[in-house]
Structure 1
Amino acid sequence: MSKIMNMSKAAIAALGMTTCITAAAVADMPEKPNGFPNRPVTLLIGWGAGGGVDQVARQLAVQFEKITGQPLVVINKPGGRGTVVLADFMNAASDGYTLMGGSDDLVGQYAAKGINENPFKDWTPIIIPQVTFTQIYRRAEETKFTDWDSFVAYAKANPGNVRLTNSGPAGGAERIMATKLAEVFDIKINQTQFDKASERYGSLLGGHVDVMMEQPGDVNQYIEGGQFVPILSLLNERPDTFADTQSIKDIGANVRPFLKWRAFWAKGDVPDERKKYLEAAFKAAWETEEFQKFNRSKYMHIVKSYYGIDEAVELMEGDLVTFRETLKAMGLLK
């Protein structure tokens, strides 16, 4: 009985602490501009349920409602590498009640002239709540190779037979990094693209591909479950969390390690005071302990993982320059 009472007291204390944190976040919020928002805000996601963008959207939605008093309604419209949703987003009223969630792929597609809208001029990035890096994974039971060096040896011994899956379009960061690695090590890699995460993961688990490019937070359950093993971290230095996995510096590759990020956008012509309120609301939601716990569980604490409007624009501007330079060097952009 006493144990139950103690547990209840601990739970009540934890609940009280969470309530205090949320109340403090609400107290720090600016006044609503002319009552905005006074009804639910819609967040359109260009990817399917369960993917990385969807997961972070739903986690932030819980905190957003606590902060603003209005629900953040997440609607999935997958397809076209996150671009099918653009028509609905661009046709929505410029009142701040319709937002869009996506990733760095949209900057890559703009650089490759796959979409017409400039992600930081035609739209305003309200928040980047997650920034991470990419790894290359093998199946735990893989016998043909165990690490990056033996993977390269296998690829050289079996030219044209190595299969890699990723989510990247021709101009996407993952596609670019895989292509550059193949060039540096003089190997041929056949890349297969899957929009749905379940298809990518299933193709590796089933042995239909040899390796997969993905972000650690999206496959943490497979890493911790011993099903996927990283053979390369696409960072210049090894992060402590993956100290046994080689980095780009370790393998001597002169390849730019693109960081992967997720963002929520408002249309560019939404009134500034509404965009600033949304920025403050999402920042307060991001800072809650509940969301930070979620981000840590997804390895999103390893690199800087919060960008407000100004910093997000700066990051996207830099990425656009790099995408264009890389695509031109690869002959994919004139």
Structure 2
Amino acid sequence: MKNRLIRLVVSLTAVLGLAAHLSAASAPASYPDRPVSIVIGFGPGSGTDILARLLAEQLRIELGQPFVVENKPGASAQIAASAVSKAAPDGYTLLLTSNSSHSVNPYIFKSLPYDPIGDFTPLGGIAYFPFILAVNASLPVNTAEELVQYAHAHKGKLNYAYGTPAVQIPAEALNRLLDLQATGIPYKSSPEAMNDVVGGRADFLVVDLASARPHLQSGRLRALAATTAQRSSLAPELPTIEETLGISDFDLAAWTGLFGPANLPEDIAQRLSDALLRILAKPELRDQLLTAGAEPTPSGRQDFAVLVERQLKIWGDKVHAAGIEPQ
């Protein structure tokens, strides 16, 4: 009798210990219990940096621990993406990134230190920074169709400016798909490229709407179309490339989203995703994003994973159309 009682106590203790262990392991309330790093691949003051800092403060409020933005700029966000891909999958090192690291880099570099799909856990979409096709205001065109007609009437005489691969790709894709025969002129940055279009030293460019807005408002730059699949709430009067020129699947913009390393535990991934959706539903944050030139595009884990894979294919198709070779 005594032996049976001892065995029963031991068995119950083991069962209760196992249950407590499983409960602790699966309880999302235990995460986070220390500061979390949000790594970004761009410098302070960039659109992604502003976005990351807005979200970091809201995540702190939601989850009760500091979320610290770490800037690791360089190599078109490769440094930041690589660092997070190699981090422990414990939820304490996250990546807030854009199309640069996950849609563009795989096609413009011969090799990458990370796999944009296999090395990450998608947590949620955040916002788009819409791109627009714009011209020098003195050019006698008011629509994208008129730009095509003007280019055909002045074969080989137009040029376009670009400061990064992300805006070179849509510009050169349009150049080739529409046989504009324009010459691409590279610049060190998009602001320099835009300044030369404004100054009349280049004719047109693709640029993010947020950066272009002051020149659009001053009348020195004219917007012709958006390069996104749908019209942007930031400029609802602007037609899309697909609407105005009939080019299907022309959905090129600077999307942004949050990732963790691959193999992030399910409960932690879901807790972060749910918090992100709650944050992006706040009217005050939506207003802050719109003021910063970002269009909120909140999405859950599964929808965001689909978007990442779809955007990888779309950008790949347009890189091919643009004839850009990996370096």
Return the TM-score normalized by structure 1: 0.74
Report the counterpart of residue 321 of structure 1 in structure 2: 313
Contact persistence 2:103–2:312 (CA under 8 A) = yes
Q: Distance in 1 between matches of 2:262 and 2:186?
A: 31
Please tell me whether residue 48 in structure 1 is matched to residue 56 in structure 2.
no
Q: Structure 1 residues 167, 57: CA separation in 2 closer, same or farther (over 3 Å shift)?
A: farther
Give the SS at the match of 2:61: helix
1:55-66 mapped onto 2 (5 Å cutoff): 55-66=50-61
Q: Using the TM superposition, give the Cα deviation of residue 249 of structure 1 relative to its aligned residue in structure 2, in angstroms.
A: 4.5
Q: 1:161 to 1:71 in 2, by over 3 A?
A: farther
Select between 305-314 and 187-196 the one with higher mean Cα deviation: 187-196
* 3-state SS in 1 of match to 2:59: helix
8 Å CA contact retained: 2:128, 2:256: yes
Q: Is the 8 Å Cα contact of residues 46 and 76 (structure 1) preserved in structure 2?
A: yes
> Which digits, 9 at most, give the CA deviation of each residue in 1:138-160, with x for residues without a partner?
344x3454443443344345544
The amino acid of 2:121's aligned partner reads T
Kindly tell me: are residues 146 and 321 of structure 1, through their superposed partners in 2, closer, same or farther at Cα, counting changes over 3 Å? closer
Retained in 1: the 8 A contact 2:78–2:113?
no
Residues 55, 224 of structure 1: alpha-carbon distance in 2 compared, 3 angstrom cutoff? farther
Q: 1:108 aligns with which of 83, 104, 120?
A: 104
Alignment of 1:277-292 (within 5 A): 277-292=271-286
Query: Residue 312 in 1 paired to residue 308 in 2?
Result: no
Pick aligned residue for 1:254 from 247, 268, 289? 247
Residue in 2 that maps onto 1:223? 216
| Cα distance, 1:34–1:59 mapped onto 2, change above 3 Å | closer
Q: C-alpha distance in 2, partners of 1:236/1:35? A: 40
Change over 3 Å in CA distance of 1:73–1:224 after alignment to 2? farther
Q: Which residue of 2 aligns with 1:83?
A: 78
* Cα gap change, 1:311 to 1:327, in 2 (>3 Å): same
Is the contact between residue 177 and residue 256 of structure 1 (CA under 8 Å) also seen in structure 2? Answer: no
Distance, in Å, in 1 between the alignment partners of 2:235 and 2:268 is 41
Letter in 1 for 2:260: A
Q: After TM superposition, which residue ranges in structure 1, 4 or more long, deviate above 6 angstroms?
A: none
Structure 2 match to 1:265: 259
Q: Secondary structure at the match of 1:43?
A: strand
Paired residues of 2:173 and 2:321 also in contact (CA < 8 A): no
Q: What RMSD in Å do the two structures reach over aligned CA positions?
A: 3.3
Q: Which residue does 1:163 correspond to in 2? A: 159
Q: How far did residue 293 of structure 1 move?
A: 0.8
**Helix, strand or coil at the partner of 2:65:** coil
Q: Which of these residues, 94, 115, 120, is aligned with residue 118 of structure 1? A: 115
Structure 2: distance between partners of 1:318 and 1:264: 16
Whole-angstrom CA distance in 2 between matches of 1:329 and 1:184: 7
In structure 2, the CA distance between the partners of 1:161 and 1:115, relative to structure 1 (3 Å rule), is farther
Residue 110 of structure 1 contacts residue 117 of structure 1 at CA under 8 Å; is this kept in 2? no
Work out whether residues 165 and 212 of structure 1, in 8 Å CA contact, stay in contact via their aligned partners in 2: yes
1:218 shift after superposition: 4.3
Once the two structures are TM-superposed, the CA of residue 54 in structure 1 deviates from its matched residue by 1.8
Relative distance call for 1:194 and 1:320 in structure 2 (3 A) is same
CA distance, structure 2, for counterparts of residue 58 and residue 241 of structure 1: 21
Which of these residues, 137, 144, 150, is aligned with residue 148 of structure 1? 144
Question: Residue 203 of structure 2 corresponds to which residue in structure 1?
Answer: 210
Query: 1:228: Cα distance to partner?
Result: 3.2
1:322 is displaced (CA, Å) by 3.3
Matched, 1:128 2:122: no
Unaligned runs of 5+ in 2: 1-25
How many residues get paired? Answer: 298
Shift of 1:130: 0.6
Deviation (angstroms), 1:311: 0.7
Larger CA deviation: 57-66 vs 158-167: 158-167
TM-score, length of structure 2 as denominator length: 0.76
